Amino acid sequence: MARADRWHGWSAPSVRTAFTAAFAVVVVLVGLRLTVRDESHAVSWLALPPLAASAFLPWRWVVGVGLASMAAAFAHLWVIYDFGMDGVASHGVDFLVVAVAVVISAAVAIVRERDDERMKRLTQLASVVQQAILRPIGERLGPFDIAARYVSARSGAEIGGDLYEALNTDYGVRIIIGDVRGKGLDAVRLSSTVLGSYRHVAFERADQRCMVNDLDHAVARNAGDEDFVTAILMQERGGTLEILNCGHPPPMLVRDGVATYLEPDSMAPPLGLSPAAQELTVRLQPGDRIFLYTDGLAEARKDGEFFPIRERAWSLIGHGNVGDGLASLESALRRWVGGPLTDDIALLLLDYRPETG
């Protein structure tokens, strides 16, 4: 939308409404003073509308509110002193207060608009980087209806160390979900390294255990001494799901209204710490749903109580469109937490529908 129609997230009708509200404050203040016909230095109160407007209106509109305040101050004194200039002239200091407030308000609005524009550009850049790292996943992949969702804990910057990918290869549908230890750009770089390596070896390696070794070496070469990546590698071939878990929260199988965790007998360490993952095999049935997530969901809590993922899995993600299911889950999670999330979350939901593949 053109700049003339939108200012930093405010639509033109919203700006006009805000301007009208600020102008109404001017009218109300003048009306109150005229009601009591007080000759004290009440004009300085009219500095408040432009100061308040500077918090949300564009600077040109702030100046408009300020000029309205000064005009109202003149009219107020003109009426109070029986339509004479003596009272107006004697309140020069009050006019100066309002004028200075207008200048300060306009300056504040200009700085705020520049900061808003800078934040907007950074948010757009973060979105581009995020899309380059986490490529969009189609709605259908092999025998699965599939949906992916990235939930950022930070407002205005959807970028972090959580990762996922889903590929249709000669060896079947292959999926990875993972979480890089740490935050910031180092986590993003390591996430990009893992995904880049995975996108290569997923088409080259017939055995997932060899893929784990390749990814482990990639992490070890690029990570710090205390860095690692928890991950789940999963592939489907002929209705059989093969899962390798490297220190990651276990996936969930939702079948016939019941949610169960798919956990191996022993947990392997994360990538970067030489995992020797034990393969878990599950025979799928039409209508089965596989839910994968990162520990931002597993560790979300309210007053020390964890979000009841398994208990609410069927009602939230067990039926209906998989994309709508993840949206419902995110909404329920935010209501549960009742505040900002403490960690990013990556979500994948697969609905096994081989008859439509």
Domain ranges of the chain: 3-128, 134-356
How does residue 86 score in pLDDT terms, banded at 50, 70 and 90? low
Whole-prediction pTM value? 0.69
Mean pLDDT of the chain: 83
Distance CA 176, CA 243 (A): 10
- Partners of residue 347 on adjacent β-strands: 149, 293
How does residue 148 score in pLDDT terms, banded at 50, 70 and 90? very high
Mean pLDDT computed over 37-43: 53
Contacts (Cβ under 8 Å, ≥6 apart) of 322: 145, 146, 147, 289, 349, 350, 351
Q: Fill in the amino acid letter for 56.
A: F
How does residue 4 score in pLDDT terms, banded at 50, 70 and 90? very low
> What confidence score (pLDDT) does residue 317 get?
96
Q: Indicate the fold that domain 134-356 takes in CATH.
A: Phosphatase 2c; domain 1 (3.60.40)
Residue 280 pLDDT > 90: yes
- For helices 184-201 and 92-133, the axis angle rounded to 10 degrees is 30
Distance CA 308, CA 301 (A): 9
Mean pLDDT computed over 153-157: 60
> What confidence score (pLDDT) does residue 285 get?
96
pLDDT tens profile 104-121: 989 998 998 888 888 777
Which range has the top average pLDDT, 52-66, 67-81, 143-157, 282-296?
282-296
Contacts (Cβ under 8 Å, ≥6 apart) of 348: 146, 147, 148, 164, 166, 175, 177, 290, 291, 292, 293
Q: Fill in the amino acid letter for 293.
A: Y
Residue 1 pLDDT > 70: no
Q: Between 66 and 31, where is the model more confident?
A: 66
Distance CA 105, CA 20 (A): 17
pLDDT tens profile 191-203: 889 999 999 999 9
How does residue 10 score in pLDDT terms, banded at 50, 70 and 90? very low
